[in-house]
Amino acid sequence: MTRERLFNALLLAGLVLVPLAAQAADEPFTITLATRAVILALAAVGLNIALGLGGLVSLGHAAFFGIGGYAMGILASHAQSYAPLAEWPILIEGTKSMPVIWLVAILASGLAALVIGALSLRTSGVYFIMITLAFGQMFFFFTISWAAYGGEDGLSIYVRNGFPGLNTLAPLPFYGLCLVLLCAALWLFDRLAKSPFGLALGAARQVPARVAAVGLDPTRLRLVAFVISGAITGLAGALFADLNRFVSPAMLSWQMSGEIMVLVILGGVGRLFGPVAGAVVYVTLEHLLGGITEFWHIFLGLILLGIVLFARGGIVGLVAGRGGGHD
Amino acid sequence: MSLLELHDVTARYGASQALFGVDLALAESEVLALMGRNGMGKSTTVKAICRMIPAGGTIRFDGRDLARLPSHRVARLGVGLVPEGRRCFRDLTVRENLVAAARPGPWDMARVTALFPRLGEREGQVAASLSGGEQQMLAIGRALMTNPRLLILDEATEGLAPIVRQEIWAAIARLRTETAMAILVIDKSLSELRAVCDRAVMLERGRSVWTGDMASLTPEIAERYVGV
């Protein structure tokens, strides 16, 4: 077993055992913290597909995170008020069913990623960063002005959505659901990275002209990656909104995009478990340092600076050595 | 009918014009040498065919005008390029380089590694760690994995040790005899080109100035246009 695999296995074991121990010790807050870490990790796994595999520095992923969040918020609020979403041409009612909400979140954020990606991927480098940021801000200001769903104040949901056969109001079953979805996303990332599609995507990051010379369209490869990436981040958004039972424009802010990117860079760009390591460290620091000072981001900034300067493979690279991902 | 036809092709890099009128035709199964001194437009002609740079004039492949096609569509029509300088995907392994390019057809991993056994031995090694000759073999293998109807080899033996060059030329000779693939070879090694090519086209200052079969390529013509 390589060091990276051992590290991944230990991290996964920690994610399974810590909440179980917290349950035994009757500390639900620890489970909620772990849930937050797992959901943020899921969002970052999404970004890692675009950033790690495709080399796409997107500063607009909060848009997908927020679209997923609002998909949950809108469906659940209509279910709560018994008012249908639409009556014409077909009757669409709200729902409190998690699987349906996840599906809508995935489809809505995937569609948004398709449109944003199709336009943004015409550019590259700093222009790509700026155009994704611009789209993110566009969605952000749209939600601020969307009075029907709370505008700037956001939207509260009073009851957590349901999953067949599980009591999702209890912290542990909800955590379990989030962890299963994170594992599914990690499995997908791994399969993608090793598939001919992932290899071609990695090659397109290195020498796009040569990928075209073997008959593959680099833009299409990137667009597919961007859509999958956006859809996963959207799913994370729906879970995040369910965790907090609240959705607001803050989920779509550019700071949120930066936060998701920090998770990936902190853990290791392109590494399978990089986003997970990044999210666990981030949430732990937020909890520990946040209790000492509200300016805890200063310490996070220093750590990030250290990682970027001295450990460019992120936490996973630091533990397991260079080679798996890319800088 | 020719598989590849270029008529009065022009191309420029910004303000400076590189091609002033290139004509050439290549039939199915034919092996054609594109020759000329450095800077005469050989690689630019290849880039124009593969639509890596905009070009004027007419370029037809299998009767189809390539003018409006993007680069990857040209490759999908069946144009396999082995670029100058090899340009393998450095971070991918030998196997990954080949798999990433694979398209359905008779050329697969087994056939490529049969042509270049060294690639089979180094299957799990990243391309960046291969020797220059092995990278060249990988670049040819990668182009073959796209199952092309036309293989373009741009300076495939440049800068390689004599023994590796021999291996590459032997592989090209095998491709000529064992497949129906058309091949466009750019190289300066006249004796090797004579052994594998049917015809040659000479370029001078961005124009095709001489076309003929290898038997009619006299030492005087070679001296005049290639300097060897």
Distance from C-alpha of B47 to C-alpha of B31, rounded to nearest angstrom? 19
Coil, helix or strand at residue B170:
helix
Distance from C-alpha of A210 to C-alpha of B222, rounded to nearest angstrom? 32
Q: Of A214, A217, A218, which is closest to B146 when you measure between CB atoms?
A: A214
> How many angstroms separate the first and last alpha carbons of chain B?
33
Residue B178 covered by a domain: no
CATH number at residue B216: 3.40.50.300
* Adjacency order of strands within the sheet including B207-213: B64-65, B55-61, B4-13, B16-26, B207-213, B199-204, B31-35, B182-186, B150-154, B79-82
Look up the ipTM and state it: 0.74
Size of interface A-B (CB pairs under 8 A): 66
Whether B83 contacts chain A with CB within 8 A: yes
Token pair listed for A197 = 């599609």
**Under an 8 A CB cutoff, do A213 and B76 touch?**
no
How many CB atoms lie under 10 A from the CB of residue A125? 8
The pLDDT score that the predictor gives to residue A120 is 96
Residue B86 covered by a domain: no
What's the one-letter identity of residue A294? E
Q: pLDDT digits over B185-214, tens only?
A: 999 888 889 989 999 999 999 999 999 999
Task: Give the closest residue to A242 by CA, choosing from A27, A35, A92.
Answer: A35
Secondary structure element (H or E) that encloses residue A86, with its range: none
**Under an 8 A CB cutoff, do A215 and B81 touch?**
no
Q: Which of A194, A205, A210, A222 to mutate to test the interface with B (most CBs of B within 10 A)?
A: A210
> In angstroms, how far is CA B97 from the centroid of its own chain?
18
- Does residue A206 carry a pLDDT above 90? no
Residue B145 covered by a domain: no
CB-CB neighbors (< 8 A) of A212 in chain B: 52, 70-72, 75
Mean pLDDT (chain A) is: 93
**Quick one: pLDDT band at residue B43, thresholds 50, 70, 90?**
very high
Question: Which chain A residue shows the shortest CA-CA distance from B73?
Answer: A215
- Does residue A216 carry a pLDDT above 70? yes
Residue A67 covered by a domain: yes
Token pair listed for A35 = 């849930």
Whether B104 contacts chain A with CB within 8 A: no
Structural domain range at position A281 = 3-19+27-320
**pTM for this model (two decimals):** 0.85
- Total number of domains in chain B: 1
Residues 130-159 on B with a CB inside 8 Å of A are: 142-143, 145-146
Residues 6 or more apart whose CB falls under 8 angstroms from that of A136 comprise A59, A60, A61, A62, A63, A252, A254, A257
Whether B75 contacts chain A with CB within 8 A: yes
**Quick one: pLDDT band at residue B86, thresholds 50, 70, 90?**
confident
Residue B200 covered by a domain: yes
With a pLDDT cut of 70, the percent of chain B lying above it is 100
The pLDDT score that the predictor gives to residue A87 is 86
**Under an 8 A CB cutoff, do A213 and B50 touch?**
yes
- Total number of domains in chain A: 1
With a pLDDT cut of 90, the percent of chain B lying above it is 75
Coil, helix or strand at residue B125:
coil
- Mean pLDDT to the nearest integer, B8-17: 92
CB-CB neighbors (< 8 A) of A199 in chain B: 89, 92, 96, 99-100
Residue B126 covered by a domain: no
- Does residue B67 carry a pLDDT above 90? no
Residues 6 or more apart whose CB falls under 8 angstroms from that of B130 comprise B88, B94, B122, B138
Residue B42 covered by a domain: yes
Residues 191-210 on B with a CB inside 8 Å of A are: none
Q: pLDDT digits over B15-31, tens only?
A: 889 999 999 999 999 99
What's the one-letter identity of residue A324? G
- Does residue A325 carry a pLDDT above 60? no
Token pair listed for A282 = 């981030």
Structural domain range at position B215 = 1-78+152-161+188-228
- Does residue B154 carry a pLDDT above 80? yes
